[in-house]
Structure 1
Amino acid sequence: MVIAPLVVILGLVLLVLIPVGWLIFFALLSLIPRHMRAPRIVWLVFVYVVWDAALLVCLLALWLASGFGWKLRSPAFVRAHYRLAAFFLRVLFWIFEAVLRLHVVTAGSDAADTALAHDEFVELFDHDLPLVVASRHGGPGDSFIVVHTMLNGVGRMPRIVLKDTLQWDPAIDVLLNRIPTRFIVPSGFAKVAIGGGRAVEAQIGALAEGLAGDDALVIFPEGGQATPLRRISRIERLRKAGRTDMAVRAEALRHVMPPQPGGVHAALTAAPDSDVVLIAHTGLERLSSMHDLWRELPMEKRIRMRAWRIPRADIPAEPDAQAEWLFGWFERLDAWIDAHDDAPRAD
């Protein structure tokens, strides 16, 4: 990739400025008024470029250590890449949470005791069976939050289904192409669908084969960030497909889009012993454009992530029944998000 060497060079140049920049920024951060957003943006861009460059250097070191790529696909080196990803995500989230004043709270129940709810969240991911983790897709960076939670929160090794646009980031592209991942072109939301279909479902099925007790296939059934225009397009497609009843129900959804069931069905068919974990989160819904991000800085948000685990025996096997089951669960996710949309800010 042509971009990768440029990112490394730029990162090395910026590293010269880190000692001064680090001290000045953290000395002044508490004094920066809320309306002064530019310094935060500049710092985060600075950090991300250096982070990307450092990750690329570490990935090069692993490639060399594997015998110039000879053992790169071996289980030992795949696990090494997972450990590397976990470490770099911890660093990235530590910095971004400090600068943006974000706080991610996980819950496996609606218990008022947040420590108990967190423990119940972790218990949902006990390493007894493989999991298919189906998350809503709402807000910038939510896929990073879910993957970070899998690696550093519950100790699962995620196999990830992501949009191909993430390959524009050179470090993410190299890293995810060394662990089980499928970059897909979704079926789209325009009148003429592109991508998607049986080919994507086959890729997801192949990715789910051989899931073990410490694995989790992470998928976003909505196929894209929920926006008003995309929601309207999805409802129109349901009507054209003759699913008028689902289209009527979809019109009542306020926060999520109707899920596309094909990918989940392909994953469960390829991994028949897997339970399913459904994830909803709130706190990023209003950030659908650069203008929204700029307006909200610093975010000072509590991002709450709620999970439910469904045993495989409770999931219909027949495709239409499974599609109805998944749709019903997304209605439940939508109701939960609606009830927790005004979560309090982090202290």
Structure 2
Amino acid sequence: MLPPRIVRRLVLAPLVIVMTVFMVVTLPLWLVVAAAAALRLPPPQRRSARFVWFAVVWLTLESAVLVACAWLWVAGGARRQEHHYALIKWFLEKVYTTAVHIFQLRVDIEEPDPVEREGGPAKPIIVLSRHAGPGDSFLLIHHLLERYGRQPRIVMKAALQYDPSLDVVINRLPNAFVPRKSGQTLVIEEIRRLAATMSGSDALVIFPEGGNFTPRRRQKAITRLEEKGLRAEAERARGMDHLLPPRPNGAIAAIEACPSADVVFVAHTGLDDLVTLHDIWRYLPIRAHITAKWWRVPAASVPRDREERIRWLYDHWERIDEWITAQRMAARPG
């Protein structure tokens, strides 16, 4: 059960700063321990020191964000959204730069021109993204802020509020945290609420699959569609090798609440099989490479009928699945 906000502010937030100071002071010891642990692993998996460095940088950045948030609260700027979006942008840029240096991360994105067409006013966008691999949400939000100059909105699991900096910053912006067992009704209501108030600089981010892909989840999702009598959707889901079938209600609710928004579909691959911390620890490659592709659909081209929208969503999901297959085949040696 998530502790009350006052406990999170008075206990968890200071604890992060204490942990940061402790890690920095004892860093030489941690590096020695990491080196000793690496000797027990084959050479490709000797990455312990890199994880130690990344953890120290992450904690330092988290502490800096918490200090900045405290200063904004004292200075009366806790309600200034632009300051907090700038803080998120700074944090994600530093995390991204660190990942590039420590894990030799490379991200290649093929995307539509971010400049609005015909010189008209900027329009809100609804981003429908594949959900897979470590840090996909961070990379997506970083790109929306850095490249597109957007102010992202997202519905997240309430448990993420255990992260103090995320808890403080996100709760000061138009986002939503939902309890794990709240059901789809609350999620849809929050998506509709966030979409209805978007302006031209905003982007609502949705992951229609509802979770990371695994073969077991894929089969369960197909079975669930069959039990609901949605045989056409179940058959189309069987044809997708890399994705869970999309849950259409969230995307449709967002489109209905903000019909002027363009829709952006996001595909990515490269670290798909690294889902758990154990996967990341054991199998993260020496050089991490992520490829991504974005498709932008103008609001006028989005179908109006609900059933047509569901078929349209599956069309794009199949397109993403085919793109992932092509990327994996191209990446195979020889």
Which category of TM-score, normalised to the shorter sequence, fits these structures? 0.7 to 0.9
Partner of residue 316, structure 1? 303
SS across alignment from 2:189? helix
Sort the Cα spacing of 1:36 and 1:172 in 2 relative to 1 into closer, same or farther, 3 A. same
Alignment partner of 1:254 out of 241, 250, 260: 241
In 1, distance between residues paired with 2:323 and 2:116?
18
Sort the Cα spacing of 1:185 and 1:310 in 2 relative to 1 into closer, same or farther, 3 A. farther
In 2, distance between residues paired with 1:91 and 1:343?
31
Pairwise CA distance, 1:257: 0.8
Query: Is 2:254 the counterpart of 1:267?
Result: yes
In 2, distance between residues paired with 1:286 and 1:121?
30
Sort the Cα spacing of 1:137 and 1:38 in 2 relative to 1 into closer, same or farther, 3 A. same
The range that moved more, 130-139 or 40-49, is 40-49
Contact 1:107 1:121 in 2 (8 A): no
Contact 2:128 2:263 in 1 (8 A): yes
Query: Is 2:267 the counterpart of 1:280?
Result: yes
Contact 2:44 2:286 in 1 (8 A): no
| TM norm structure 2 | 0.86
Alignment partner of 2:57 out of 44, 47, 57: 47
Query: Is 2:160 the counterpart of 1:154?
Result: no
The answer for unaligned runs of 5 or more in structure 2 is 1-7, 35-42
Contact 2:155 2:187 in 1 (8 A): no
In 1, distance between residues paired with 2:134 and 2:155?
16
Sort the Cα spacing of 1:85 and 1:276 in 2 relative to 1 into closer, same or farther, 3 A. same
In 2, distance between residues paired with 1:63 and 1:299?
41
In 1, distance between residues paired with 2:101 and 2:330?
19
In 2, distance between residues paired with 1:304 and 1:295?
21
In 1, distance between residues paired with 2:169 and 2:194?
16
Sort the Cα spacing of 1:343 and 1:16 in 2 relative to 1 into closer, same or farther, 3 A. farther
The 5 Å alignment of 1:64-213 reads 64-66=74-76, 72-73=78-79, 77-108=80-111, 120-123=112-115, 128-185=122-179, 194-213=181-200
In 2, distance between residues paired with 1:304 and 1:122?
18
Instruction: Please list the CA deviations of residues 7-35 of structure 1 after superposition, one character each: whole Å capped at 9, or x if unmatched.
Output: 1122233444679999xx9xxxxxxx644
SS across alignment from 2:114? helix
Pairwise CA distance, 1:286: 1.6
Contact 1:302 1:343 in 2 (8 A): no
In 2, distance between residues paired with 1:95 and 1:342?
29
In 1, distance between residues paired with 2:279 and 2:30?
27
Partner of residue 337, structure 1? 324
Partner of residue 38, structure 1? 48
Backbone CA RMSD of aligned residues: 2.6
In 2, distance between residues paired with 1:91 and 1:21?
22
Instruction: Please list the CA deviations of residues 98-156 of structure 1 after superposition, one character each: whole Å capped at 9, or x if unmatched.
Output: 11111111112xxxxxxxxxxx4534799621100110001111011100111112211
In 1, distance between residues paired with 2:229 and 2:56?
50
In 1, distance between residues paired with 2:276 and 2:29?
32
Query: Is 2:49 the counterpart of 1:57?
Result: no
SS across alignment from 1:305? strand
In 2, distance between residues paired with 1:311 and 1:5?
46
The answer for unaligned runs of 5 or more in structure 1 is 26-32, 109-119, 187-193
Contact 2:221 2:245 in 1 (8 A): yes
SS across alignment from 1:13? helix
Sort the Cα spacing of 1:326 and 1:140 in 2 relative to 1 into closer, same or farther, 3 A. same
In 1, distance between residues paired with 2:116 and 2:205?
15
Contact 2:262 2:296 in 1 (8 A): yes
Sort the Cα spacing of 1:64 and 1:94 in 2 relative to 1 into closer, same or farther, 3 A. same
Partner of residue 189, structure 1? none
Pairwise CA distance, 1:261: 0.8
In 2, distance between residues paired with 1:161 and 1:328?
24
In 2, distance between residues paired with 1:234 and 1:195?
19
In 1, distance between residues paired with 2:286 and 2:158?
28
SS across alignment from 2:107? strand
Pairwise CA distance, 1:163: 2.6
In 2, distance between residues paired with 1:336 and 1:297?
23
Partner of residue 116, structure 1? none
- State the percentage of identical aligned residues: 40
In 1, distance between residues paired with 2:166 and 2:309?
33
Query: Is 2:5 the counterpart of 1:5?
Result: no
